[in-house]
């Protein structure tokens, strides 16, 4: 069996994604790997495919118990013999797994890092052939990572204890150099093949909205999708937004750190199993949740930095199907975010606090510039993470919003700077704007600026300032010296002589919202809902989360292909032989009935 066959047959995917094939090849070639891939990029496949192809039992070290269970459930669903070993097992279950492993029946064993030190696990490994050890969430080995776990430091001892050194492949979504070099050193990787795939998530549609009523806006976007995570920055907001959605008939779970562990667990499970369509949560929600079919993430408040935003918004569309990330922005959020920074890190010394706060304020500023950006939002994110990005991605709220022709207004602003220069004066942007909008400010009158021909020729001061700033960004105006006085560039001279046009993206129009809809699958939405319900019931009877049965991407694909028989069903993305055998009949029955109904209309 080659890698393409493994990919198709077991996972039902037709092609590898960026980075996956190279990693698979390197692992198969026996080279250690250090892979940095953002959440949702498809890290698991990179070690699962080689594990299937190599003889022996591969070990996957993973820190999150619940995640491990679902992943193994997923593999078994796909017809791969896998098991997990962690503290949740009864001893009889544990011995059964040992027996099957020793008999060479298991291709993959997931294990929690704490287990690596136990005598019985080490003894089990002595009698196994282990071609590969994959380390998931490898940043946990580093003090600099977000979630350092001391037990990760034991991984290198464990690997050394094996009689034949396996290939070691480490995976993480954290890309800083310190963390990367810590992983390489502490896991003792041998001149690893190192790869960092892009941070771009092409299936995500980023959008910032500044509605008058956040609640009304939230309701209307939520009604158009089949599920969502809504992040709020305070517990109070979580509760009020949750209540608002429930009042409006939406099945909603709420989650924040103030609830008991039981209540949190129940909320998480309800969402995972599609019993609740929406979960409203603080940022405490997320770590350890691996739900791949989330079509929408809304931020009701501005998060503290773009790292958090990227990570939280990134929980949408992990299965690769189109998904939306909407920020509901209002200026009042800024004060809230600042307040939270001022009241953070209280456990540290004053000196440390003040340093961290300084850093946090800088990060918040960047977050706010994202919210206020007029240009491509994807570009804003990618450049923040140090990646190159095109000026326009064509698939975000800003790229789809309308351009305004601001040539005339630009000419007025530039002329004002020009007239001042004729009087041997130069001023900063605020004064220029005051002159243009005819301010009665004493300073303006005293300087005689009210006699300029450009005095009072424009109206809305906020818009004038926006355009003036845009002219600076686009290189028409230069800000000189520490007083940042305006000077015209040669580009500006051209424009004053009425050559060329200036475009700028302003405000958000209604049209854009309508446009963005066509970027989402709506084909046979009714069928999608029917399949979704069938999936929920099927999953419930098996006691697994729905996405383990089929991803949203697969359901949408069924809606567009409308497969008629088993062979056509196999063409659906994400459907391997095993899933086709297990579920094909039931799903085909619903699809066929739907097709007949549709057909009868023609």
Provide the binding-site residues for ligand ADP, judged by CB under 6 A: 13, 16-17, 20, 37, 39-45, 292, 318-320, 551
By beta-carbon proximity to ligand ADP, the closer residue of 379 and 545 is 545
By beta-carbon proximity to Zn ion, the closer residue of 364 and 376 is 376
As a whole number of angstroms, the distance between CA 373 and CA 548 comes to: 38
Q: Pick from ligand ADP, Zn ion, none: which does 63 bind, CB < 5 to 8 A by kind?
A: none
Q: Pick from Zn ion, ligand ADP, none: which does 376 bind, CB < 5 to 8 A by kind?
A: Zn ion
CB of 564 to ligand ADP, least distance (A): 23
Stretch that binds Zn ion, among 378-386, 450-458, 485-493, 570-578 (CB under 5 A): 378-386
Q: Pick from Zn ion, ligand ADP, none: which does 399 bind, CB < 5 to 8 A by kind?
A: Zn ion
As a whole number of angstroms, the distance between CA 280 and CA 328 comes to: 14
Q: What is the largest CA-CA distance in the chain?
A: 95
Burial level of 173, CB count in 10 A (0-12/13-18/19+)? buried
By beta-carbon proximity to ligand ADP, the closer residue of 38 and 397 is 38
Phi/psi of residue 404, nearest 5 degrees: -105, 140
Matching residue, tokens 């190159």? 388
CB of 290 to ligand ADP, least distance (A): 6
User: Can you read off the two tokens belonging to residue 212?
Assistant: 């008058």
Q: Pick from Zn ion, ligand ADP, none: which does 37 bind, CB < 5 to 8 A by kind?
A: ligand ADP
Buried-exposed string 562-587: b where 16+ CB fall within 10 A, e elsewhere: ebeeeebbbebbbbbbbbbebbbeeb
By beta-carbon proximity to ligand ADP, the closer residue of 102 and 175 is 175
By beta-carbon proximity to ligand ADP, the closer residue of 530 and 553 is 553
- CB neighbours of residue 108 within 10 Å: 22
By beta-carbon proximity to ligand ADP, the closer residue of 166 and 545 is 545
As a whole number of angstroms, the distance between CA 400 and CA 520 comes to: 14
- CB neighbours of residue 95 within 10 Å: 12
Residue of minimal Cβ distance to ligand ADP: 42
Q: Pick from Zn ion, ligand ADP, none: which does 205 bind, CB < 5 to 8 A by kind?
A: none
Q: Pick from ligand ADP, Zn ion, none: which does 512 bind, CB < 5 to 8 A by kind?
A: none
- CB neighbours of residue 339 within 10 Å: 12
Burial level of 453, CB count in 10 A (0-12/13-18/19+)? exposed
Q: Pick from Zn ion, ligand ADP, none: which does 292 bind, CB < 5 to 8 A by kind?
A: ligand ADP
Stretch that binds Zn ion, among 50-58, 138-146, 366-374, 398-406 (CB under 5 A): 398-406
CA dihedral of 230, 235, 240, 244, whole degrees rounded to 10: 20
As a whole number of angstroms, the distance between CA 433 and CA 320 comes to: 47
Q: Is 133 helix (H, G, I), strand (E, B) or coil?
A: strand
CB of 515 to Zn ion, least distance (A): 13
* CA distances for 458 relative to 85, 396, 466, 505, angstroms: 71, 31, 13, 19
CB of 346 to ligand ADP, least distance (A): 33
Buried-exposed string 379-414: b where 16+ CB fall within 10 A, e elsewhere: bbbbebeeeebeeebebbbbbbbeebebeebbbbbb
Q: Pick from Zn ion, ligand ADP, none: which does 52 bind, CB < 5 to 8 A by kind?
A: none
Q: Pick from Zn ion, ligand ADP, none: which does 551 bind, CB < 5 to 8 A by kind?
A: ligand ADP
Q: Read off the DSSP letter of residue 162.
A: S
Stretch that binds Zn ion, among 221-229, 374-382, 401-409, 423-431 (CB under 5 A): 374-382
Q: Pick from Zn ion, ligand ADP, none: which does 226 bind, CB < 5 to 8 A by kind?
A: none
Q: Is 417 helix (H, G, I), strand (E, B) or coil?
A: helix
Stretch that binds Zn ion, among 241-249, 389-397, 485-493, 577-585 (CB under 5 A): 389-397
CB of 275 to ligand ADP, least distance (A): 21
CB of 296 to ligand ADP, least distance (A): 17
Matching residue, tokens 């990330």? 325
- Nearest Cα neighbor of 278 from 224, 227, 244, 217 is 227
Q: Pick from ligand ADP, Zn ion, none: which does 17 bind, CB < 5 to 8 A by kind?
A: ligand ADP
Q: Pick from ligand ADP, Zn ion, none: which does 276 bind, CB < 5 to 8 A by kind?
A: none
299 sits near Zn ion (criterion: CB under 5 A): no
As a whole number of angstroms, the distance between CA 141 and CA 157 comes to: 13
Stretch that binds Zn ion, among 266-274, 318-326, 393-401, 420-428 (CB under 5 A): 393-401
CB of 46 to ligand ADP, least distance (A): 8
By beta-carbon proximity to ligand ADP, the closer residue of 205 and 449 is 205
CA 571 remoteness from chain centre: 28
CB of 14 to ligand ADP, least distance (A): 7
By beta-carbon proximity to ligand ADP, the closer residue of 320 and 397 is 320
CB of 113 to Zn ion, least distance (A): 40
Kindly give the interhelix angle for 377-384 and 306-313, rounded to the nearest 10 degrees. 120
CB of 21 to ligand ADP, least distance (A): 9
Q: Read off the DSSP letter of residue 107.
A: S
Q: Pick from Zn ion, ligand ADP, none: which does 524 bind, CB < 5 to 8 A by kind?
A: none
Q: Are 221 and 300 in contact (CB under 8 A)?
A: no
By beta-carbon proximity to Zn ion, the closer residue of 299 and 535 is 299
As a whole number of angstroms, the distance between CA 298 and CA 236 comes to: 17
Q: Is 412 helix (H, G, I), strand (E, B) or coil?
A: helix
396 sits near Zn ion (criterion: CB under 5 A): yes
As a whole number of angstroms, the distance between CA 244 and CA 57 comes to: 50
CB of 319 to ligand ADP, least distance (A): 4
CB of 440 to Zn ion, least distance (A): 41
Stretch that binds Zn ion, among 188-196, 236-244, 331-339, 394-402 (CB under 5 A): 394-402
Binding residues for Zn ion (CB under 5 A): 376, 378, 393, 396, 399
């Amino acid at each position: 069996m080659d890698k393409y066959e493994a990919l198709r047959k077991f996972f039902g995917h037709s092609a590898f994604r960026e980075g996956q094939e190279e990693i698979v090849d390197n692992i198969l070639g026996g080279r250690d790997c250090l892979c940095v891939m953002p959440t949702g990029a498809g890290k698991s496949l990179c070690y699962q495919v080689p594990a299937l192809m190599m003889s022996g039992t591969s070990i996957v070290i993973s820190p999150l118990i619940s995640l491990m269970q679902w992943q193994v459930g997923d593999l078994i669903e796909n017809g791969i013999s896998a098991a997990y070993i962690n503290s949740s097992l009864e001893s009889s279950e544990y011995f059964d797994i040992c027996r099957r492993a020793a008999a060479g029946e298991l291709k993959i064993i997931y294990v929690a890092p704490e287990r690596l030190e136990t005598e019985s696990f080490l003894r089990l490994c002595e009698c196994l052939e282990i071609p590969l050890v994959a380390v998931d969430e490898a940043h946990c080995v580093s003090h600099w990572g977000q979630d350092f776990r001391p037990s990760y430091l034991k991984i290198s001892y464990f690997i050394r204890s094996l009689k034949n050194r396996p290939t070691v492949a480490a995976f993480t979504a954290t890309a800083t150099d310190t963390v990367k070099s810590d992983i390489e050193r502490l896991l003792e990787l041998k001149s690893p093949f190192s790869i960092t795939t892009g941070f771009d998530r092409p299936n995500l549609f980023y959008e910032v909205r500044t509605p008058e009523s956040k609640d009304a806006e939230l309701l209307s976007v939520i009604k158009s999708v089949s599920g969502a995570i809504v992040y709020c920055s305070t517990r109070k907001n979580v509760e009020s937004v949750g209540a608002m959605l429930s009042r409006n008939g939406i099945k909603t779970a709420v989650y924040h750190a103030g609830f008991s562990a039981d209540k949190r667990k129940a909320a998480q499970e309800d969402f995972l199993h599609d019993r609740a369509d929406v979960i409203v949560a603080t940022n405490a929600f997320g770590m350890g949740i691996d739900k791949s079919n989330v079509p929408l993430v809304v931020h009701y408040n501005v998060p503290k930095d773009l790292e958090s935003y990227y990570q939280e918004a990134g929980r949408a569309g992990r299965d690769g199907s189109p998904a939306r990330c909407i920020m509901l922005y209002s200026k009042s959020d800024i004060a809230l975010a600042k307040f939270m920074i001022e009241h953070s890190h209280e456990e540290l010394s004053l000196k440390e606090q003040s340093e961290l706060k300084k850093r946090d304020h800088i990060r918040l500023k960047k977050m706010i510039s994202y919210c206020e950006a007029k240009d491509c939002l994807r570009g804003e994110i990618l450049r923040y993470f140090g990646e190159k990005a095109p000026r326009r991605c064509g698939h975000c709220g800003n790229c789809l919003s309308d351009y305004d022709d601001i040539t005339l207004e630009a000419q007025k602003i530039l002329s004002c700077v020009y007239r001042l220069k004729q009087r041997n004066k130069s001023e900063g942007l605020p004064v220029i704007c005051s002159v243009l909008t005819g301010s009665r400010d004493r300073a303006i009158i005293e300087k005689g600026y009210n006699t300029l021909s450009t005095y009072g020729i424009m109206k809305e001061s906020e818009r004038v300032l926006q355009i003036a700033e845009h002219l600076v960004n686009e290189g028409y105006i230069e800000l000189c010296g520490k007083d940042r006085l305006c000077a015209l560039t040669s580009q500006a001279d051209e424009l004053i002589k009425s050559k060329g046009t200036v475009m700028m993206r302003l405000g958000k129009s209604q049209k854009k919202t309508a446009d963005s809809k066509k970027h989402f699958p709506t084909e046979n939405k009714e069928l999608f809902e029917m399949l979704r319900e069938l999936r929920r019931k099927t999953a419930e009877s098996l006691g697994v989360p729905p996405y383990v049965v089929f991803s949203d991407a697969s359901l949408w694909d069924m809606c567009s292909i409308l497969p008629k028989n088993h062979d056509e069903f196999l063409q659906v993305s994400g459907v391997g032989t095993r899933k086709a055998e297990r579920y094909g009949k039931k799903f085909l029955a619903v699809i066929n009935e739907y097709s007949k109904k549709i057909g009868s209309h023609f």
